Structure 1
Amino acid sequence: MKALLLLLLLSFAAVSTTQAQSTPTAAPDKSKEVLLVDAACGQCRLGLPGKSCDLAIRMNGKAYFVDGTDIDSHGDAHAKDGFCNSVRKAQVQGEVVDNRFKATYFQLLPETVTAK
C-alpha cells in the first residue's frame, strides 16, 4: 500500500514538473518583440497534417505547431469559441525551430480583438 502511494506521489510530481516546464512565462520579455498572430487548431483550422487536435499559430502566412503551451491550456478547444471552431488572435514571443514555434510567451486575446 505504501509503495502504491509513493508511486502515485512520484507520478504526480513528474507530471507537475513537466507541465511547469512546458508553460510559457506569464509576462512577455520586454527586450523582445511581441507578435500578433492567428491561433487555432492546426488540423481543424490551419490545414496542418495530423490526426489529433494540436495548437498552432499562423504568422506571415505560414502555420506552425506550437511547443511551450498546448491547446487545452486555453479553454475547451471544441467550444464555440475554441481553437477547433474558430481562429483567434494571440500575442506571442518565441522563435521557429525545426518548423515549429517554440513559445516563450503566449497570451490568447479576447474574441473582440482584431488585427490592425
Structure 2
Amino acid sequence: MKYQLLLVLFLTLNLGFAQDKKQTLKTQIVETSCGQCQFGMEGHGCELAVRIEGKSYFVDGTSIDSHGDAHAVDGFCSKIRKAEVVGTIVKDRFVVASFKLLPNK
C-alpha cells in the first residue's frame, strides 16, 4: 500500500511537470527597457525588463549590457524600445530563449 501511494504521488508530480514543459513558446513583440529607470520596478540597479500585456518582468537569459550602452541617448535607461522575443514567464521573471532588439523608428 505504501509503494502504491508513492507511485501515485510520483506519477501525479511527473504529469504536472510534463504539462509545464509542453507549454508552447511563441514569438511576440514586446516593449523592453530598464526595469528600474523606465518601468518603475523595484530593483538593485539597472536591469533589463520587458512589458507584456501591461505587466513588467525582469529578464533572464540576456542582460541590459548585451544590447549596447544602457545610458546612451537611445539606451534602455533613456527610452523604451521594442524587441521580438521568445520565452516564458517563470516565477515573475521572463526567461528568454530568443531576444532581438528591433530598430528605432
TM-score (norm 1): 0.68
- Counterpart of 1:106 (choices 82, 92, 99) is 99
In structure 2, runs of 5+ residues without a counterpart are 1-23
Could you say which residue in structure 2 is the equivalent of 1:93? 86
SS of 1:38's partner is strand
Aligned partner of 2:56 in structure 1 is 63
Aligned partners of 2:28, 2:69: CA distance in 1, in Å? 24
How many residues align structurally?
Answer: 82
**Structure 1 stretches of 4+ moved >6 Å:** none
Q: Distance in 2 between matches of 1:51 and 1:103?
A: 20
Query: Which residue of structure 2 lines up, in the alignment, with residue 47 of structure 1?
Result: 40
**Corresponding letter in the other structure for 2:65:** D
Q: Deviations over 1:37-61 (max 9, x none)?
A: 0000000001110231000000100
> Could you tell me which of 27, 37, 40 is aligned with 1:34?
27
State the percentage of identical aligned residues: 54
Q: CA RMSD in A?
A: 1.1
Instruction: Give the residue type in structure 2 aligned to 1:47.
Output: G
- One-letter code of the match for 2:80? V
Larger radius of gyration: 2
CA displacement at 1:32 relative to structure 2: 4.2
CA distance in 2, matches of 1:61, 1:99: 14
Which ranges in structure 1 are unaligned for 5 or more consecutive residues?
1-30
